[in-house]
Amino acid sequence: MAEGVQESRRQDGKRIVACACGQRYRVPIQAVGTRSCTKCDRPVSLAPTPDGAAEHAGEKLKVFVSYSRKDKDFVLWFSDALQAQDVNVFRDLDDILPTEEWWPRIEKLIAAADTVVFVISPDSVGSEICAREIAVCEKLNKRIAPIVLRDVAGHLLPGSLAKLNQVFFTARHEFDQALATLAGALQLDIGWIREHTRIGELAMRWDSRGRTGGMLEGEELKEAEAWLARRPKTAPPLTELQRAFIERSRQAASDRAKSDSDVILGLNLYAQKNYPAARDAWTRAANLGNPAAMTHLAKMLGDGVGGAANPQEALGLFSKAAALGDLEAMTFLGFLHGKALTAFWRSGLDTMSSTLAQFGIDVKMSPGLWERGGPKAIPWAARFLAPKTKSPFENVMGG
């Protein structure tokens, strides 16, 4: 028998629990044990759920239905019945726009689903498309709930389906009972399952962007690590991508902490005029992707403080820091843009890009940098521009 599932909405010191049949009860937050449902006589668990359901209060359960088109009539009824129980149902008939590429959209719908319901019939088991959908589920470690519409010999079922408990919809007069049983199964460990879906989508987005940026930080990272540690025995495992996403997020957080420490160390060493040591500290932090360290190091490289000058490397570091959102780097590049503008006015060159290129400035970056950091550049450049500028850093680093 399916037990009730806590929805974790709390009002006046109480929370709501629900039976698989849909009947709901308000109980004290501290309530434990079980009670019998007044509607169907099933046992309803009163214990708080440990799987993070409170983090997803108010969210609809998301289900993707994999089926053969020959079973369309049943699936239409089945989808309506689930939606009546506040379940968000994804199907290829309804959730793909005419202009969308069909298979990539199917993959996205499966990735966004908390559970995939596979409608077992001779037609679906023999369907190449259904087999591809199951393969996507296995790749993403999605929870699969198989339901039997028409009997199929066990040896014909894919291995991932054959070993799972099945809910039978073979007798029409028992459809309602079967639906209630499935509804209870879909709610099992739902808080943890929803987080599995969310982390999976974030990891896929991170992977599609070359595994840079978009990682978990702060409390969100701590919560993800705690979620991983409390995985229920019946829940699907993490994919290698999900695990890599969380691990790389932790590594990035550690790197940020180390680089922030080196930025502060560099500032203290610079104040003590220990320039080589400051340069080393900022180099370590810059290598870990710290934009503030890149900007400090770029200034030293441009001026030749603490070592040999390297204007081109300095310009590259300013550009990287600006791309990462460092306002000081944006402003400095705006100053360089302003010098290029002044040189453009004086030289009468035909194109702005050719002038910017003389200073090693990427013209594609310049408009955005001009808007954010460059308005100060024209009067600044007019004041400090040398008659013959050999480097974009001449009369700039000390200005």
- In whole angstroms, give the CA distance from residue 186 to residue 224: 22
Q: Tell me: the pLDDT tens digits for 162-192?
A: 888 999 998 877 888 999 999 999 999 999 9
Average pLDDT over residues 89-98: 69
Task: Average the pLDDT over 71-100 and give the result.
Answer: 82
φ, ψ for residue 63, nearest 5 deg: -130, 130
Q: Select the more confidently predicted residue: 44 or 176.
A: 176
The full DSSP string for 192-231 is HHHHHHHHHHHHHHHHHTTS-S----HHHHHHHHHHHHT-
Whether the pLDDT of residue 6 is over 50: the answer is no
> Does residue 182 share a domain with residue 62?
yes
Residue 244 lies in a domain: no
User: Does residue 206 lie within any of the structural domains?
Assistant: no
Residue pLDDT, tens place only, 194-238: 999 999 999 999 999 999 888 998 889 999 999 999 999 989 999
Q: Report the Cα–Cα distance between both ends of the chain, in Å, rounded.
A: 77
180 and 87 together in one domain: yes
The percent of residues above 70 in pLDDT, for the chain, comes to 67
pLDDT of res. 48: 53
The reported pTM is 0.64
Work out the average pLDDT over 39-44.
64
> What does the pLDDT read at residue 213?
81
How many independent structural domains does the chain possess? 3
CB 133 within 8 A of CB 106: yes
Task: Please list the helix, strand and coil fractions of the chain in percent, rounded to the nearest 5, in that order.
Answer: 55, 10, 35
CA distance 144 to 71: 18
Residue 32: pLDDT band (50, 70, 90) is low
Final residue of a structural domain among 139, 163, 188: 188
The string of pLDDT tens digits covering residues 313-366 is: 888 888 888 888 888 887 777 666 555 544 444 444 344 445 445 545 444 444
Cβ atoms of 266 and 282 closer than 8 Å: yes
- Backbone dihedral angles phi then psi of residue 5, each to the nearest 5 degrees: -125, 130
pLDDT reading at 71 higher than 70: yes
Q: What domain range is 158 assigned to?
A: 56-188
Residue 239 falls inside a structural domain: no
Whether residues 163 and 44 fall in one domain: no
- Residue 372 reports pLDDT greater than 60: no
Q: Is residue 22 part of a domain?
A: yes
**Same domain assignment for residues 39 and 92:** no
CA atoms within 13 A on the CB side of 308: 3
| pLDDT exceeds cutoff 70 at 40 | no
Residues 44 and 157 in one domain: no
Least confident of 25-29, 229-233, 245-249: 25-29
151, part of any domain = yes
